[in-house]
Amino acid sequence: MMYFLIRRTVGFIATLIAVSIVVFAVMNILPGDPALTILGMDATDDALAALREDLGLNEPLLARYFGWVAGALTGDFGLSHSFRVPVSELISERLAMTISLAVAGMLLTLLIALSVGIYAASRHGKAGDWVTMFISQLGIAVPAFWLSILLVLLFAVNLRWLPPGGFPGWSEPVAAMRSLILPTVALALVQSAVLARVTRSSALEVMRQDFTRTARASGLSQRRILWRHVLPNALVPIVTIVGMQFAALVTGTIVIENVFYLPGLGRLIFQSIANRDLPTVQALVMLFAIIVVTANFVVDLLYVLIDPRLKARA
Amino acid sequence: MTLLTAHNLTRRYPLPRTKLLGKAPFLTAVSNVSFEINPGETFGVVGESGSGKSTLARMAMAFEAPDDGTILFEGQDIHALNAPDLRRLRPDFQMIFQDPFSSLDPRRKVGWSIAEPLRAMGITAPDRVAESFEQVGLHAADGDKYPHEFSGGQRQRIAIARAIITRPKLLIADEAVSALDVSVQAQILNLLMDLQDSLGLGILFISHDLAVVASICDTLLVMQHGKPLEYGPAVDILQNPSHTYTRSLLTAAGDKP
Ligand SMILES: Nc1ncnc2c1ncn2[C@@H]1O[C@H](COP(=O)(O)OP(=O)(O)O)[C@@H](O)[C@H]1O
Ligand SMILES: [Mg+2]
């Protein structure tokens, strides 16, 4: 158990270090001169030299890397070029939006996918199974941004139930929640389609085992068997996919925030790329990578909780 | 009253279509099978793999319905009962399976699993859990372990403990010893016989192995391709098999070490 935790933690930290090296390298070595990237081809030599000094580009590469990491560890990502404020300030203003979207999207995904998947498994081979699996197949085939546009057309433009986009700020909680409903649904639907199918097949696998029949023989109701025995045993593949989906949801916010004009990290990364704001882009790419790696780490830890055999062995 | 009465049971499974039009083909897994089990009797069903024994067991457990025929448990047609009534009757007939590795929920401690049938009946009785453990030759302290911490034979004991905790009148054992080593097989068979004596249990014992069935059963049904071949007292069938199929099963059983 202890050994397992230590190994996974070491792996987690090693991955983060590797990721930071890759992100730094891509931003600073591969494309050429960062100052040129920021200022464009027709910048004067003086301006370029000044910016290089400003960015610390005249220092050796290794020193710049460690400077960046040391800063990042204390929450200092340098100054944003286009916004003229610290990158950390830009991020902290927008982090809540992106995290709320991703977490709400994940919860909605779980709610839809587990119910639908377990329902389909319990109706295996019957009409209910067919219909739900057909719809989920459609859900998988549909791109999230297109679904978002459909949702906006239906619920915002035609029915006028919800705002089409924009965000009034957290000071108006009801309006803020309302403006997050469509983006959350758009994020969750595609992911639930995938997860529902995984849940169904994993549940069917468990239902083939004798202990579900033993449970039936003991007079347990179908519903109790499904939630007590089938779902818990079906969790390992489900949790694996959920970990990957959380990463997909976080990166999915980039598209969704741009479709719905929400002030989050996804919008920020678009703006920063358009503005060639290198320090901000670098910080954001690193941040998204950290979220993805952390989600995977959490999944690894969850396995131990889910599976008593792992708990004993690990 | 007879414990279990099967009357003209037939079960068909659809086969994959070979033609787009016309009737879908089907396989008759169980065809016109009738038998009776009396309280406290050991009734054996024997036949090679694929002869429809497990299908018979699933119908007797009301896991699936026959296409034709009836199954009466103490005079009640179990397939005519509604779901709640059937659930109320279930504690009276229990089942153990071939694979002791998959018949227990791997995520639950075995004490929890053994007590589950009682909880389903709305009873909490720790003393009955302990009693059940002792009846199958295990210790109550074993309840704190997970299934993977036990050997195959021990798990089959746990499965039996769970099955008898509701004090059933009928126990269906489908190839219950087939996955075990020969020495362990004998232990489990002895355990079943002891329990039958002490609890007055009726047992429907299913096996492909005539040697195993012959060693414990009073009455025998021999099946081939879903059809009943021979039915009667075990001694008669073993001494005077009227079918070459039964004789071949006997030879196969005798050939074994
Ligand atoms: N659910 C099912 N669907 C289709 N065919 C089945 C199903 N269950 C059993 N069968 C078929 O019915 C026949 C009898 O199977 P089974 O009752 O398992 O035999 P046994 O337990 O004697 O080995 C076999 O040919 C098997 O392939
Ligand atoms: Mg079988």
Quick: pLDDT tens for B20-46: 777 778 899 999 999 999 999 999 999
Enumerate residue ranges in chain A where pLDDT < 70.
Answer: 30-32, 308-314
Give the closest residue to B155 by CA, choosing from B194, B188, B193, B107: B188
Taking residue A196's Cβ as centre, other Cβ atoms within 10 Å add up to 27
pLDDT at position A314 is 44
Between the CA of residue A143 and those of A181, A261, B194, what are the distances in Å?
Answer: 18, 18, 64
Q: Output DSSP code: residue B170.
A: E
B112, two tokens: 């929890």
Which among B27, B223, B249 is the best mutation to test ligand 1's pocket, defined by most ligand atoms within 8 Å of the CB?
B27
Contacts of B103 in chain A (CB under 8 A): 209-211, 213-214
Of B90, B97, B107, the CB nearest to A232: B107
Nearest-10 Cα torsion for A252, A253, A259, A265: -140
Protein residue with least CA distance to atom 27, ligand 1: B50
Contact check, Cβ <8 Å, B91/A219: yes
Q: By three-state DSSP, how is residue B47 classified?
A: coil
Contacts of A232 in chain B (CB under 8 A): 107
Contact check, Cβ <8 Å, B87/A219: yes
Taking residue A56's Cβ as centre, other Cβ atoms within 10 Å add up to 12
Contact A239, A294 (CB under 8 A): no
Exposure string of A139-175, with b = 16+ CB inside 10 Å and e = fewer, is beeeebeebbeebbeebbeeeeebbbbebeeeeeeee
Q: State the Cα–Cα distance between residues B154 and B136, nearest whole angstrom.
A: 9
Contact check, Cβ <8 Å, A210/B166: no
Number of residue pairs across A and B with CB atoms under 8 Å?
A: 71
Protein residue with least CA distance to atom 7, ligand 1: B13
Mean pLDDT on B62-72:
95
Contact B132, B164 (CB under 8 A): yes
Q: Mutate which of A207, A210, A230, A307 to test chain B, going by most B C-beta atoms within 10 A?
A: A210
Q: State the Cα–Cα distance between residues B212 and B193, nearest whole angstrom.
A: 13
Continuous H helices in B90-181: 110-120, 126-135, 152-164
Of B97, B98, B120, the CB nearest to A218: B120
Contact check, Cβ <8 Å, A214/B97: yes
Residues lining ligand 1, Cβ inside 6 A? B 13, 27, 29, 47, 49-55
Q: Where are the domains positioned within chain A?
A: 2-73, 91-313
CA angle A247, A250, A255 (to 5 degrees): 125
DSSP A55-101: HTTTS-HHHHHHHHHHHHHTT---B-TTT-SBHHHHHHHHHHHHHHH
pLDDT at position B29 is 95
Of B94, B120, B148, the CB nearest to A220: B120
Protein residue with least CA distance to atom 8, ligand 1: B55
Contacts of A216 in chain B (CB under 8 A): 63
Mean pLDDT on B56-77:
95
pLDDT at position A28 is 77
pLDDT at position A26 is 84
A19, two tokens: 């990721």
Contacts of B166 in chain A (CB under 8 A): 218
pLDDT at position A31 is 58
Bridge partners of B42, per DSSP, are B203
pLDDT at position A32 is 63
Q: Where are the domains positioned within chain B?
A: 4-98+172-252
DSSP A89-143: HHHHHHHHHHHHHHHHHHHHHHHHHHHHHHHHHHTTTSHHHHHHHHHHHHHHHS-
Strand B202-207 relative to strand B219-224, pairing: unpaired
Taking residue A87's Cβ as centre, other Cβ atoms within 10 Å add up to 27
Residues on chain B bordering chain A, Cβ-to-Cβ distance under 8 angstroms: 61, 63, 83, 87-88, 90-91, 93-95, 97-99, 102-107, 116-117, 120-121, 146, 148-149, 159, 162-163, 166
Protein residue with least CA distance to atom 14, ligand 1: B52
Q: Residue holding tokens 């290794």?
A: A62
CATH of domain A91-313: 1.10.3720.10
Please tell me the number of the ligand nearest to residue B47's CA.
Answer: 1
Q: Output DSSP code: residue B26.
A: E
Q: Which CATH superfamily is domain B4-98+172-252 in?
A: P-loop containing nucleotide triphosphate hydrolases (3.40.50.300)
The residue type of A171 is S
Q: Closest approach of chain B CAs to the CA of A304, in angstroms?
A: 12
Give the closest residue to A79 by CA, choosing from A70, A97, A93, A91: A91
Q: How confident is the model at residue B257 (pLDDT cuts 50, 70, 90)?
A: very low
Contact B10, B36 (CB under 8 A): no
Instruction: For B2, list phi and psi in degrees, rounded to 5.
Output: -70, 150
Please tell me the number of the ligand nearest to residue B50's CA.
Answer: 1
The residue type of B26 is F
Q: What is the value of pTM for the model shown?
A: 0.80
- From the alpha carbon of B208, which atom of ligand 1 is closest? 22
Protein residue with least CA distance to atom 5, ligand 1: B13
Contact check, Cβ <8 Å, B146/A307: no
Supply the ipTM of this predicted assembly.
Answer: 0.85
Mean pLDDT on B181-205:
93
Terminal CA-to-CA distance of chain B, rounded, Å? Answer: 40
- From the alpha carbon of B11, which atom of ligand 1 is closest? 12
